[in-house]
């Protein structure tokens, strides 16, 4: 899920941009986070617990 978030952020705001400093990059990322958090969308899991066989899963 984390990889998907950063992939989406890269496609939406980071691809093809040029910044003059790390601070400007940080500002753009923080602005993006503010915008997406203004209207949060809950993540919908595709899997149900009753379909997972815990005996076959490596949970160690």
Question: Considering the domain boundaries, does residue 2 fall inside one?
Answer: no
Burial class (CB within 10 angstroms; exposed 0-12, middle 13-18, buried 19+) of 32 = middle
pLDDT tens for 6-32 read 898 888 888 888 999 999 999 999 999
| pTM across the whole model | 0.60
60: in domain: no
Total domains in the fold of the chain = 1
pLDDT digits (tens, 9 = 90+) for 36-59: 999 988 877 777 777 777 777 776
The better pLDDT of the pair 43, 3 is held by 3
pLDDT in the model for residue 58 = 73
In a domain, 45, yes or no: no
Does residue 60 surpass a pLDDT of 70? no
Look at residues 55, 46, 39 and name the one whose alpha carbon lies nearest to residue 4. 46
Q: Is there a domain that residue 53 lies in?
A: no
8 Å CB contact between 44 and 55: no
């Amino acid at each position: 899920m984390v990889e998907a978030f950063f992939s989406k952020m890269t496609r939406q705001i980071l691809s093809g941009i040029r910044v003059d400093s790390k601070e400007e990059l940080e500002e753009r990322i923080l602005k993006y986070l503010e915008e997406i958090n203004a209207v949060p969308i809950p993540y919908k899991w595709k899997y149900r617990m009753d379909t997972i066989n815990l005996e076959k899963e490596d949970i160690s």
